[in-house]
Chain A
Amino acid sequence: DIQMTQSPSSLSASVGDRVTITCRTSQNIGSYLHWYQQKAGKAPKVLIYAASNLQTGVPSRFSGSGSGTDFTLTISSLQPEDFATYYCQQTYSDFPRTFGQGTKVETK
């Protein structure tokens, strides 16, 4: 299985801050890395697919970068609705399609 290491596990930030979350994989996965946002009591929703592609309807303050084994999700200016938990997922190795451990973004 491909191992996912997501960091940090949590962070405290204020509205307007730039936030960066990283995901590292145990082997080269090209660009087969996706980012999800999950709010309390809700299903996750995809923000970024294939490392750097913004899902339709997702605000442009979200961006993704990276390839190979190191990936980053950036929120350029944190908004109140962005306080949530974020997960990465790889879909390079067919199965299992593993998730990172999650990063909880909390208010400072």
Chain B
Amino acid sequence: QVQLQESGPGLVKPSETLSLTCTISGDSVSSANYYWTWIRQSPGKGLEWLGCIYYSENTNYNPSLKSRVTISVDKSKNQFSLKLSSVTAADTAVYYCARDRSNGWYGIDYWGQGTLVTVSS
């Protein structure tokens, strides 16, 4: 059974960097079949795809955030991480990590439970 678990601070100050980690169990971040993905949802709003990383460590980001977002992988810990710089209140959201089949045919089949990050001084 695949499980994904987000972790990181629930409160970040404006202008600082938001950092979250997703720990994978039941699968490997080195699998060539999946994009390991970050998605967020602002309070009362829809889903926003942030970016993803492949086993080769190639990354892809949402152009709307590209200059601020970095996704990396730690294969030794079977984790991948999100960093979002220069945050503002608009970055307050529930952040989900997820597993997305790389061929695009199956949709996102596993999600973490989500973690709320609030940007406030």
CB pair A96–B106 under 8 Å, yes or no, is: no
Known: A1-B63, A49-B106. A97 touches B100 (CB 8 A): yes
Of all chain B residues, which has the CB nearest A49?
B107
A1-28 contacts to B (CB < 8 Å): 1
**CB of B80 within 8 Å of the partner chain:** no
A50 neighbours in B (Cβ, 8 Å): 105-107
Q: Among B49, B51, B111, point to the contact of A45 (Cβ < 8 A).
A: B111
Contacts A/B (CB < 8 Å), 27 sampled: A34-B106, A34-B108, A36-B47, A38-B47, A42-B113, A43-B96, A43-B98, A43-B113, A44-B47, A44-B108, A46-B106, A49-B107, A50-B105, A87-B47, A89-B107, A96-B49, A96-B60, A96-B61, A96-B62, A97-B37, A97-B49, A97-B52, A98-B49, A99-B47, A99-B48, A99-B49, A102-B46
Chain B residues packing against A (C-beta within 8 Å) = 37, 46-49, 51-52, 60-64, 96, 98, 100, 104-109, 111-114
Separation of A92 and B105 alpha carbons in the complex (Å): 9
